[in-house]
Amino acid sequence: MYEVKDSIELFRNYQMNGQPELYKALEDLNIDFEYYEHPPAPTIEEAKKYWKDLVATHCKNIFFRNHKGNRHYLVVLEHTQDLDIHDLEKRLKQGKLTFASPQRMMKYLGITPGSVSPFALINDKENQVHVFFDENLKNSEKISFHPCINTASLVVQFSDFEKFMHWVGNTFEFLKLYD
């Protein structure tokens, strides 16, 4: 695992794990990032082994669908917090929420299970996924996510991540997701 200080230069000269389109978008948006390569980390428990030296807020990213299957949600909160799914269901008034299938992950986010990340919204060309961020994430200076594959992590300034979210075009909002 290593840290990259000059992320744009690395993008141009080295094959990083993840989607080249994502790195190109970050370059175009002038978003600096720290790149950390590691063994596959499909779960929070596995990822924590590789996060110990990363100074950032690490997130849990959960991809849901409503009971009709016609609405999809990405929920992002700090990795140590638990989501009260029933409370979220009541607030959304969309009926029962269930975890999206691997097929839906591929269709809407272009990823496989274990690689869920807001960076995967780059693949949602029709902006069909709505994102809920826990409001406590606003207090983060830096935030980390997989670059659409679970063999690397990117750390970005929270303000730059917000720039990415506005650029990608998906609707999103901040909610109090836990106490």
Q: How confident is the model at residue 131 (pLDDT cuts 50, 70, 90)?
A: very high
Q: Is 152 exposed, middle or buried (0-12, 13-18, 19+ CB in 10 A)?
A: buried
The answer on pLDDT for 10 being more than 70 is no
Query: CA dihedral in degrees (125, 131, 135, 141; nearest 10)?
Result: -30
Mind listing the domains of the chain with CATH numbers? 7-175 (3.90.960.10)
pLDDT, residue 110, reads 97
Read off the pLDDT of residues 13-34 as tens digits, 9 standing for 90 and up. 567 899 999 999 999 999 999 9
The answer on pLDDT for 165 being more than 80 is yes
Read off the pLDDT of residues 112-122 as tens digits, 9 standing for 90 and up. 999 999 999 99
**Phi, psi dihedral angles at 157 (to 5 degrees):** -60, 140
**How many angstroms separate the CA atoms of 24 and 19, rounded?**
9
Strands 172-175 and 152-157: unpaired
